[in-house]
Amino acid sequence: MLVEDGKIGIPIYKVVIFSNGGIFMRHAIVTAGTKGLGRKVTEELLENGYSVTATYRSDHKKADELAQAFKKYENALQILQIDVCNPGQLSDLVRSAYERFGRVDCLVNNAGPYIFERKKLMDYEIDEWNEMMRGNLDAVFHLLKDVLPIMRRQQFGRIVNYGFQGAQDAPGWIYRSAFAAAKSGLVSLTKSIAYEEAEHGITSNMVCPGNIIGKMKESNIMDSRKYNDEQTPVGRSGTGEDIARAVLFFCNDASDMITGTVMDITGGLDVINRHR
């Protein structure tokens, strides 16, 4: 898939035609891309002509389900078991994606540890704090160190990170202090990369999902509209498709003017303050 120009040493990429007749010109890495919100992102990317390297941490069953459900895209889909808290495994991820598909165009940092138990900062264990920081902030740093050189050579790249409602204003979030601190730091990193890498054709943006839970994470918008959600002002629950549509928008070739943007996708629900 990769041909070197003998004169100037710049990678020149062929259009790849796979056995199913599809043509895939862009490759995306989606961390935690085999279930939940990440699965819908993987699905939408595949169905819109991207090849995808999706990762999972431990749920082999969900990884197998994705592979079987999208068997027609087997030449365009690579699934790897990766712990985003392990920098060495993150380097292996980027290397595997590049070796198989010859490029990395989009990095979707969907993975991020989350502690569902509601507790104050004083009740966090040190290991829990470290996991929040390593999985939600440090992991992005390590991945950027590996993918940005590739994207600079390509003069094209799309970085999409995940935050939470209002993250760009660094709000306090009761019972979620560690997660909120990591994601607020990620907002600044997202915008800093947008400034630093713009000259290389690389954009960096963030999506901030609202209260999307349970089966809605892997559901689509039409399914959500069948049920009234009294808590959400728009009248329906958010879905994985809502998030995937935003990610696809940021990844689009024509979205080069959109960088350093933080997009809330909440349906008008105040996620942070609803438990106060």
Copy the structure tokens of residue 264.
Answer: 């809330």
pLDDT tens column, 78-122: 999 999 999 999 999 999 999 999 999 999 999 999 898 999 999
Model confidence at 2: pLDDT above 60: no
pLDDT tens column, 30-62: 999 999 999 999 999 999 999 999 999 999 999
> Which structural domain, as residue segments, surrounds residue 31?
2-275
**What percentage of the chain reaches a pLDDT higher than 90?**
78
Tell me which H or E stretch contains 177.
helix 177-197
Confidence of residue 269 (pLDDT cuts 50, 70, 90): confident
- Count of structural domains, the chain: 1
Least confident interval from 23-27, 122-126, 257-261: 23-27
pLDDT tens column, 126-171: 999 999 999 999 999 999 999 999 999 999 999 999 999 888 888 8
Model confidence at 20: pLDDT above 60: no
Higher-pLDDT residue of 65 and 114 is: 65
**From start to end of 76-196, where are the E strands?**
77-81, 106-109, 157-162
Tell me if the pTM is above 0.85: yes
> Tell me, what's the pLDDT at 23?
57
Q: Among all chains, which residue has been given the structure tokens 């800093």?
A: 192
Closest CA to 160 of 124, 122, 110, 216: 110
Neighbouring residues of 125: CB distance < 8 A, sequence distance ≥ 6: none
> Tell me, what's the pLDDT at 231?
86
> Tell me, what's the pLDDT at 169?
87
For β-strands 23-24 and 16-17, DSSP reports them as antiparallel
Model confidence at 236: pLDDT above 50: yes
Q: Determine the average pLDDT of the residues in 2-18.
A: 35
CATH number at residue 261: 3.40.50.720
